[in-house]
Amino acid sequence: MKRLNLIAAAALTIMATATAMPTGLRAADTVSLPCVCELSGAGAVSGTNYRDGAKMAAEEINAAGGILGKKIVMTDYDTQSDAQTSRALVQKAIDAEAYAIIGTVYSGSTIVNMLVAQQNGVPQFTGSEAPNVTRQGNPYIFATSSSSAKGVPGLTPYFKDTLKAKKIGVAWVNNEFGKGGHDVFVNEMKGAGITVVADVPSEQGQADFAADVSKIKESGAEAVFVYLNEEEAARFLKEAKKQGLKAPLVGEVTLTSQKVIDLAGDAANGAYAHVGITVGANVPAVQEFGKKFKQKYSRDTDHNGLKGYIAVYAVKYVTEMNGSLDQEALAKKLHGLTLDVAKYPGMLLTTSWDKTGEMSRESFMTQVVDGKQKVIGTVPAN
Amino acid sequence: MAQFLQVLLSGLATGSIYALAAIGFTLLWQAAQTVNFAQGEFVMLPAFFVLIAMGLGLPLPVALLVALAVSVFVLGYLFKRLIVEPMKASKTGGGLPLVIATMSLAIFLKEGVKEFYGAEAQPYPELVSGGSWDVFGAIVSVTDIAHLAISLGVVVLLTLFLNRTRTGRAMQATAQNPDVAKILGVDTKRMVLYTFLINAALATLASFLITPFYLAKFSNGEYLGLIAFIAAIVGGFNQIRGALAGGLLIGVLDNMTATYVTAEYRAAVPLVLLIVIILWRPEGLLGTSEGRSV
């Protein structure tokens, strides 16, 4: 009887100790960083690159001893580019003891699933760039690239001073990503005294851009802001070439990405884009990353590969600053933090997060020349 | 005026490609009394045969011929022998189970391509590429004109074949009344097989023409199948010229709506048109009513 009492007391003590531990603290032998990403469907290009960049970082960190001596375990959760599926998968990843969530990339998905991570107190490193994502007051969401609210204003001097455009056309995708960028851009143009003469929304997955290009041509726009996802951007460029659209085509992030260049072929030549980060940047660490990625996966990556990569390194550096696998401490520490690339080389560029989780760092202007993305200028961090 | 002309021609070019797929619907309906809901995937798949052939090092013209041969065999001959014939020979005699089988085939083809070729869109070479012409101020793409000419040329040739040749007339006789055709000495099984092969060839041609702009992607068939189906119903399910008219109408209407009315709701236009036609003229614009007894 005494023995039974002893066992029961021991069990109760263990249970009490376990429940008394702060919920944010982890005591596992591994660090689970599940990648909830768009591995199929319309966002497969972005999601796959994001996942592969993150995996590369995880392998490097594991080879160097892991995070606080614990190995990173990265499991794939394919959202199929569907917002509701992504929500269910974030919950599933959290149920499987996620320390932090890596993903999602599609803003429409992140807006839906980030509430689940927030409710469970799990930090989430998203590849999304819609300004709405970091404007929800969610203390657990962190961008891995500047949102369009920070990126798009970087284009204003280009339209105003370099292209000296007075009339602008806007082709944008009617989803969370597109709406965010469109709204910021239209406001910026208004402030700069540039008139938007053609405002042309399109649907995600749209295949025929004949009418869109025709409307822009007819409007007399002197330059066009193209804010579309990769596949649609490639279709738009092909149609623009087919219809002989002469106005400069300028995008934010996607328009000069490698995938768009591959899909659009010759039609991509001459397109401009402002990109948060690119493997073509004249930064040795970034170029080295590009080489390693190509060697590992036998293909080039767009900016999403870099975003996934720095997400995992950010988790490592900040967790090690805290000295424990504490999710709440990780989220708190990141707000207002700057990781200097000289001290934290995995970040590739000096990177800061503000109190909303929005990110800021140096960015680049690019142009497609002979089927390759070429960096033509640097935009300071804002 | 220049914009109208440009949008009209773009719509006609795209619509003529929809028409090729829509004609396939009408041919199979007449030959096998089945609606092939895998028709969109029949348009999606040949593009991947081209990519595979090019991946093996074949030049584009040879890759196109190889893809055409493989498509006609797989989507024509094998489709008939492995799916349509066994189901038609069963107790149900085809009907609804056959329609469901084509839906299953559509999923199988789509997921198969996704599994073996990935979910990402692939670049695809243009069959016809060139500059543009200035026609009354409108920049008219040579590609659009070529697509329109090729599609309409093929439809004219098909119509001539069906109306002016012995085999074509035998195919029509088989479609109208297979029992009487058999009594008159027509090899009806062969004629039905020809119909399946022609459908596969039309879908392949549509694939070659449309994929450079849609890009090669496993999910292309979803939209193309729906549009071709609506085009066939709008034009008249039992008439080739009806399917042609339906395809052209939807292509033009889609572009005109997006240009002059609303870009946001352009996808709804074909569906609205379908509802209107079903309410106003169920046999389609150029179709004829058919009696069915139960």
DSSP string, A40-108: SSTTHHHHHHHHHHHHHHHHHHHHTT-BTTBEEE--EEE-TT-HHHHHHHHHHHHHTT-SSEE---SHH
d(CA A335, CA A333) in angstroms, rounded, equals: 6
Handedness of CA B214, A112, B269, B284 (dihedral sign): positive
Contact B7 A200 (CB under 8 A): no
Using CB atoms, pick whichever of A212, A234, A262 lies closest to residue B263: A212
pLDDT band at B284 (very low <50, low <70, confident <90, very high): confident
- Helix ranges (H only) for chain B are 2-32, 39-55, 60-71, 85-89, 95-117, 142-164, 166-176, 178-183, 188-214, 220-235, 240-256, 268-280
Strands A359-360 and A351-353: antiparallel
- From chain A, the residues in CB contact with B40 under 8 A are none
**Closest residue by Cα to residue A165 from A199, A191, A187, A196:** A196
- Do the chains contact at A211 and B118, CB–CB below 8 Å? no
φ, ψ of residue A71 in degrees (nearest 5): -75, 145
On whether the CB atoms of residues A370 and A269 are closer than 8 A, the answer is yes
- A259 and B CB contact within 8 Å: yes
Interchain CB contact of A207 with B (< 8 Å) = yes
| A244 reaches B (C-beta below 8 A) | yes
**Cβ atoms within 10 Å, residue B94:** 18
Q: What is the structure's pLDDT at A377?
A: 85
Domain A150-275 - what CATH class?
alpha beta
Give how far Cα A109 sits from Cα of A90, A211, B106, Å. Answer: 11, 29, 27
Q: Does A263 touch chain B (CB under 8 A)?
A: yes
CA distance B214 to chain A (A): 5
A218 in contact with B, Cβ within 8 Å: yes
Q: Chain B contact for A220, CB < 8 A?
A: no
Q: Do B119 and A40 touch (CB under 8 A)?
A: yes
CB contact under 8 A, A211 and B217: no
What HEC string does B221-275 produce? HHHHHHHHHHHHHHHCCCCHHHHHHHHHHHHHHHHHHHHHHCCCCCCHHHHHHHH
Percent helix, percent strand, percent coil in chain A, to nearest 5: 45, 20, 35
What residues of A are in contact with residue B215 (Cβ under 8 Å)?
231, 234-235, 263
Alpha carbon distances (Å) from A149 to A132, A136, A277: 9, 14, 16
Q: Do A351 and A122 contact (CB within 8 A), yes or no?
A: no
Question: What integer pLDDT is reported at residue A10 of this predicted model?
Answer: 52
Structure tokens at A329: 């401490």
Q: Do B3 and A217 touch (CB under 8 A)?
A: yes
B123: chain A residues, CB-CB within 8 Å:
262-265
Residue entry with tokens 């003469």: A197
Alpha carbon of A186: minimum distance to chain B alpha carbons (Å)? 18
Contact, A203 vs A177, CB < 8 A? no
CB nearest to B139's CB, from A45, A174, A244: A244
Q: Check CB contact of A211 with chain B, cutoff 8 Å.
A: yes
The predicted structure's pLDDT at residue A3: 56
Cα A87 to Cα A33: distance, rounded to the nearest angstrom: 16
A274/A380 Cα distance (integer angstroms): 12
Burial class (CB in 10 A: 0-12, 13-18, 19+), B269: middle
Q: Is B141 at the interface with chain A, CB within 8 A?
A: yes
Strand partners, A200: A171
User: What is the per-residue pLDDT for B136?
Assistant: 77
CB contact A197 to B (< 8 Å): no
Structure token pair of residue A226: 């193209």
Any CB–CB contact under 8 A between B259 and chain A? yes
Task: Answer whether B254 sits within 8 Å of A208, measured CB to CB.
Answer: yes
Segment A216-254, tens digit of pLDDT = 998 999 999 999 988 999 999 999 988 888 899 999 888
Cβ of A40 under 8 Å from any chain B Cβ?
yes
Taking contacts as CB-CB distances below 8 angstroms, the residues of chain A near B118 are 44
Instruction: Report the residue of chain A nearest B253, measured CA to CA.
Output: A211
Mean pLDDT of B133-149: 83
Lowest mean pLDDT among A96-105, B57-66, B83-92, B219-228: B83-92
Show residues of chain B in contact with A243, CB under 8 Å.
Answer: 6, 132, 139, 141
Residues of A in contact with B266 (CB under 8 A): 203, 211
Q: Is the pLDDT higher at B174 or at B92? A: B174
- What backbone phi and psi angles, to 5 degrees, belong to B91? -60, -35
Q: Which residue ranges of chain A lie beneath pLDDT 50?
A: 1, 13-14, 16-23
Q: Which residues of A231-241 are buried (b: 16+ CB within 10 A; e: fewer)?
A: bbbbbbbbbbb
Smallest Cα–Cα separation from B212: which of B138, B121, B140? B121
For the CA atoms of A326, A330, A332, A338, the dihedral, rounded to the nearest 10 degrees, stands at 150
Window 230-249 of B: residues touching A by CB (8 A cutoff) are none
**Residue B290 has what pLDDT?**
64
pLDDT at A18: 45
* pLDDT reported for residue A2: 52
Condensed to tens digits (0 to 9), the pLDDT of residues A145-199 reads 888 788 788 888 889 988 999 999 999 998 888 888 899 999 999 999 999 999 9
B258/A contact by beta carbon, under 8 A: yes
Contact A121, A327 (CB under 8 A): yes
Asked if the C-beta of B212 comes within 8 angstroms of chain A's C-beta atoms, the answer is yes
Residues of B in contact with A218 (CB under 8 A): 2-3
User: Smallest Cα–Cα separation from A233: which of A181, A162, A167, A187?
Assistant: A181
pLDDT of residue A19: 43
Instruction: Report the relative pairing of strands B132-135 and B138-141 from DSSP bridges.
Output: antiparallel
Distance (Å, whole) CA B176 – CA B169: 10
Which pairs count as long-range contacts for A89-97, CB under 8 Å and 24+ apart, including other chains? A89/A36, A89/A113, A90/A36, A90/A114, A90/A116, A90/A117, A90/A124, A91/A116, A93/A32, A93/A34, A93/A36, A94/A120, A94/A122, A96/A32, A96/A34, A97/A26, A97/A28, A97/A32
* Closest alpha carbon to B193 in B213, B170, B209, B211: B170
Summarised one tens digit per residue, pLDDT across range B37-81 is 999 999 999 999 999 999 999 999 999 999 999 999 999 999 999
CA gap B40, A227 in Å, rounded: 29
- What residues 110-169 of chain A have any CB closer than 8 A to a CB of chain B? none
> For position A180, what pLDDT does the model report?
85
Distance CA A39, CA A360 (A): 27
Domain positions in chain A are 30-146+282-362, 150-275
Nearest CA in chain A to B144: A242
- pLDDT at residue B125 above 80? yes
Question: In chain B, pLDDT over 70 holds for what percent of residues?
Answer: 97
A231: nearest CA partner in chain B: B121
Chain A environment of B3 (Cβ under 8 Å)? 214-215, 217-218
Domains, chain B, ordered by start: 2-280 (1.10.3470)
SS3 A176: helix
ipTM for the predicted complex comes to 0.84
Number of Cβ within 10 Å of residue B185's Cβ equals 8
Q: CB contacts < 8 Å between A and B, how many?
A: 90
Residues in chain B within 8 Å Cβ distance of A234 = 121, 215
Dihedral class, residue B90 (left if φ above 0, else alpha if ψ from -120 to 50, else beta): beta
What is the fold, at CATH topology level, of the domain defined by A30-146+282-362? Rossmann fold (3.40.50)
State pTM to two decimals. Answer: 0.78
